Amino acid sequence: MEKFKNLGLSPNTIESLRRKGYEEPTPIQEKIIPLLLNQKKDVIGQAQTGTGKTAAFGLPLIEKISCKNKNVQALILTPTRELAIQVAEEINSLKGKKRLNIAPIYGGQSIELQLRKLKKGVHIVVGTPGRIMDHLQRGTLRIDNLSYFILDEADEMLNMGFLEDIEEILSHTNDNKRIWLFSATMPDKILNIVKKYMKNYEFVKVSKEHLATDLTDQIYFEVNESDKFEALCRIIDVEPEFYGLVFCRTKVKVEEVANRLIDRGYEAEALHGDISQHQRERILNKFKRKRINILVATDVAARGLDISNLTHVINYSLPEDPNFYVHRIGRTGRAGKEGTAITFVTPSEYRRLVYIKKVSKSKIRKEKLPEVSEIINAKIERLKSELNTIIEEKDHEKYLEIAETLLNEKDPKEVVASLLKYSFNGEFDENSYGKIGKVSINKHGKTRLFIAKGKSSDFDEKKLVEFIMKKTGLESLNIKDIKVFDNFSFLTVPFEEAEVILRYFSKHKRGRRPLVDKAKERKRGN
C-alpha cells in the first residue's frame, strides 16, 4: 500500500483500498490521482477501460467533496446505464467511513425512486445523458453549482450520438467547475469539446495495454442455460489444479452458483456488492491463501483485485459491455503463466458473443465440453500421481504395519480397491454427473429490424442504408430484404451488424420506442 500512500490519499481511503484488496496503483492511477488532488486545472486522461480509471478519478472525488454541503457537487456522465451502475458502486465501495451519498441516475429505473434520492441530498450523481436531461427539464436536478464535471468513456458517448446532449447538459452548469475527461481514443469530436469547454487543462496519456494477453487461451462452450452449472463442475473437475474467478452478472446469480458449488463439496465463496467490508476482507484472504480455489463474483466486486497465478476465468454469464469481457479475461495469463478464459454461451447470448468478439478483437474458439469419461480418467491419473509422490517421499512408515497385516489376511487387489472406495466413495462414479443437453445455435443468423422511418420521411432503400451507415459508423452493411412503407421500414442484417445498430439506436428513441428496434414476429394463423 506504500505507493498509494505516496499519492497523497487520506488514511480512510487507504484503509478502504486495503480492505478491497488493492495492493498498488495502476499506471493511470499513479499519474492522475496526484494531479486531481493537488492542481486546479482541468484534466484529460487517455486510457482503456479496465486500466483502473474509475478509481483514478473516484478516489480524488472522495477526498475533495464536502459531506456538509448537501448539493450535487460532482456529475459523472457515462454512455450506458450498466457503466453508470458500475461507476457508482465502485466509488461507493471506496468511500470508507466518509458519509457521501452517491446516486446512479439512468433510464429504465423508476424515476420516482430517483426523485426520492435527489430530494434527500446527493453529493455525486452518476448518470446517462438522456435521464440527466429528463431531470434537468423537470427541474428535479440542479447542476449550477458543481465542483466537478466528469465525462467517462467520452469517445463511446460521442459514437452513440450524445454530443448535443452533452453540450445541453454543460449549458446548465456553472463556469467555475473543473472538467475531467476520460477517453480511450481522442477523435476530432472530443478535441472540439476540449477546445470549446476546457481552457487550462493537463493531458495525461497511458500507453495502451494488452489486457487480453497472448498468454490467455480464450474458449467458449455452447450450453443451455439450465446446463451451465453442470458444465462448470465438469471444467473444474477435469483440471489438475483449478484456481479461478467465476463471473456472473447479478448478485442473485453469484449467491446461487456459489451455494450450489459449496453444496457439491467445492471450496468456493461469493463476492458481490452486498458483502460487508469485513466479510470481503476475510474472503479475499482465504482466496489469496488458496484455502478456497473458486471465487464467484460480480464485475463490481472483482474490480481492483490483485490476485496472481489464476488458472481460469469463467464467464458464467456474458457481460453486456465488450470492455468488461476484456477486463475479466485480463486477470488470467499474468506473471508469465498461461491462463484460460472460458465463456458459456446460450442460444440467446450468441449474438452478444459475436459482438464482443468483433469489438474487443478477441480470438475466442469453440470447444466441446469434456465428457464424463474424460473427467473420471483425469481424476484417476491425478490419484496415481499423488500416490506415487507419497510412496517416493517415504512418509508413510507408521502405516506399514497395518498394510502388512491387511495384505497377509486378504487379497492385495481387494485391499487396495476397498481403501480407494473408503477414501473416494462416489468420486469416480460417472452417475454423479448430470447429462448436458445438445444446443442448437444458428451461427450465420440474421436479425430482422424495424425502422420508424419510411417514404413519408423521404426514404427509399438507398437512403435508408446510407442513413444507418452514417449514424452507426459502419463502413459496410450486408443488408437483405429491405421493405420501405409510408411511415416505417424493415430490413434484415447479420448478427454482428444488428448488435451495433441496436446499441446505437437504443439511445435515440422516437416516442417510447427506439428509432430502430427488433421487428416483432408475426403470429401465424391469424
The DSSP string of 495-517 is HHHHHHHHHHHTTSEETTEESEE
pLDDT of residue 50: 64
Residues facing residue 77 across a β-bridge: 127, 151
CA–CA separation, 281 vs 41, rounded Å?
36
| Superfamily of chain region 446-518 | RRM (RNA recognition motif) domain (3.30.70.330)
Report in angstroms the alpha-carbon separations of 208 from 36, 188, 336, 359.
Answer: 21, 19, 19, 16
Mean pLDDT of 211-238: 86
Residues facing residue 180 across a β-bridge: 43, 150
pLDDT of residue 509: 57
Burial class (CB in 10 A: 0-12, 13-18, 19+), 471: middle
Mean pLDDT of 58-65: 95
pLDDT of residue 325: 83
Confidence band (pLDDT; 50, 70, 90) for 232? very high
pLDDT of residue 506: 73
Q: Find the range with the poorest average confidence among 97-106, 107-116, 215-224, 494-503.
A: 494-503
Burial class (CB in 10 A: 0-12, 13-18, 19+), 52: buried
Mean pLDDT of 76-85: 87
Mean pLDDT of 232-239: 93
* Strand 178-183 versus strand 42-46 pairing type: parallel
CA–CA separation, 164 vs 242, rounded Å?
49
Q: Find the range with the poorest average confidence among 85-94, 249-258, 322-331.
A: 322-331
Q: Are 315 and 342 in contact (CB under 8 A)?
A: yes
pLDDT of residue 208: 58
pLDDT of residue 344: 96
Confidence band (pLDDT; 50, 70, 90) for 103? very high
Q: Specify the DSSP class assigned to residue 244.
A: E
**Is pLDDT larger for residue 157 or for residue 321?**
157
Q: Are 298 and 250 in contact (CB under 8 A)?
A: yes
Q: How many CB atoms lie within 10 A of CB 423?
A: 9
Q: Tell me the whole-structure pTM to 2 decimals.
A: 0.59
pLDDT of residue 255: 95
CA–CA separation, 323 vs 87, rounded Å?
14
- Which three cell numbers, joined as nine digits, stand for 56? 483514478
Closest CA to 387 of 429, 426, 416: 416
Fold of 216-369: Rossmann fold (3.40.50)
- Which three cell numbers, joined as nine digits, stand for 364? 475466442
Closest CA to 451 of 425, 482, 426, 430: 482
Of 250-259, 440-449, 499-508, where does the model show the most confidence?
Answer: 250-259
Closest CA to 103 of 116, 94, 304: 116
Confidence band (pLDDT; 50, 70, 90) for 505? confident
CA–CA separation, 434 vs 428, rounded Å?
14
The backbone region for 153, taken as left when phi is positive above 0, alpha when psi lies in -120 to 50, beta otherwise, is left
Residue 116 has pLDDT above 50, yes or no: yes
CA–CA separation, 172 vs 151, rounded Å?
15
Residue 146 has pLDDT above 90, yes or no: yes
Confidence band (pLDDT; 50, 70, 90) for 443? low
| CA dihedral sign, ordered 160, 462, 515, 359 | negative
pLDDT of residue 20: 75
* Alpha helices by DSSP H, 177-250: 188-197, 228-238
pLDDT of residue 48: 72
* Strand 480-484 versus strand 489-494 pairing type: antiparallel
CA–CA separation, 66 vs 407, rounded Å?
77
Of 43-52, 245-254, 404-413, 439-448, where does the model show the most confidence?
Answer: 245-254
CA–CA separation, 120 vs 122, rounded Å?
7
Q: What percent of the chain is modeled with pLDDT above 90?
A: 38
Residue 212 has pLDDT above 70, yes or no: no
CA–CA separation, 420 vs 414, rounded Å?
10
CA–CA separation, 88 vs 181, rounded Å?
17
Phi and psi torsions of 90, nearest 5° = -65, -50
Mean pLDDT of 257-268: 94
* Strand 74-77 versus strand 148-151 pairing type: parallel
**Is pLDDT larger for residue 503 or for residue 46?**
46
| Domain range summary for the chain, segments of one domain joined by + | 2-205, 216-369, 373-432, 446-518
Side-chain half-sphere exposure of 76, counting CA atoms within 13 A = 29
Fold of 2-205: Rossmann fold (3.40.50)
Q: How many CB atoms lie within 10 A of CB 344?
A: 24
- Which three cell numbers, joined as nine digits, stand for 2? 506504500
Q: Find the range with the poorest average confidence among 15-19, 265-269, 294-298.
A: 15-19
Alpha carbon of residue 521 to chain centroid = 31
Mean pLDDT of 179-188: 89
Report in angstroms the alpha-carbon separations of 6 from 31, 41, 97.
Answer: 12, 21, 21
Residue 525 has pLDDT above 60, yes or no: no
Confidence band (pLDDT; 50, 70, 90) for 501? confident
Q: Are 123 and 67 in contact (CB under 8 A)?
A: yes
Mean pLDDT of 134-153: 94
Confidence band (pLDDT; 50, 70, 90) for 39? confident
Q: Are 247 and 343 in contact (CB under 8 A)?
A: no
Longest Cα separation, the chain: 97
Average pLDDT over the chain reads 85
In 20-94, DSSP assigns E strands to 42-46, 74-77
pLDDT of residue 524: 38
The reply to whether domains 2-205 and 446-518 share a CATH topology is: no
Residue 21 has pLDDT above 80, yes or no: no
